[in-house]
Amino acid sequence: MIFNTTPASPAIFIDKDGTLVRDVPYNIDPELLEFTPGAVPFLAAMKKAGFKLILVTNQPGIAMNLFKETAFLNYIGHMNQQLNSRLDGVYYCAHNRPGADGRFHCDCRKPLPGLILKAAFEQKISLEDSWMIGDILDDVEAGNRAGCQTILLNNGAKPNGLPALCERPTLP
């Protein structure tokens, strides 16, 4: 029997809208792409420190047929070309299974940890040595549920009420 003894890597899991790039609702236009202040040098520093860079994002615009999945992937390709340190992976939820409450329910839509867990499995990532960075409590909850350390980016948006225990970031 052969065992893979390659050590697991740490990763920075980062949300797209409002965290990595300025939040323009349902944007797939490369002309409107604008990285948030400090995002590009931060990712370069993390890459140099040995972290994998993984984008995790909910994309309801695909599910609601506001844009095609190919248009989203073209936008991501353009975004990745603009980064000094390319992303090691892009994981997104584009399912169209709304429940009775009108929300989409699947195992990968944040705040559930499915995107992070899938990336960790596929890319041999050590979750306990990794960080999830996002601008809303759903991002923090997904990271916490996956076993990551978490950062809630203060971009001026205020969460509603006090976060539940699973939504509390490691670093505010």
Active site residues: 15, 17
How many secondary structure helices (H) and strands (E) does the chain include? 5, 5
Cα distance between residue 143 and residue 115, in whole Å:
10
Q: Which two tokens stand for residue 91?
A: 């994981």
Q: How many CB atoms lie within 10 A of CB 124?
A: 14
Reported residue count of the chain is 172
Determine which helix (DSSP H) or strand (DSSP E) holds 11, and give its type and residue range: strand 11-14
- Hey, is 161 helix, strand or coil? coil
- The strand pairing partners of 57, in sequence order, are 92
Q: Rounded to an integer, what distance in angstroms lies between the CA atom of residue 36 and that of residue 58?
A: 18
C-alpha 83, offset from chain centre: 16
Which residues are paired to 91 by β-bridges? 56
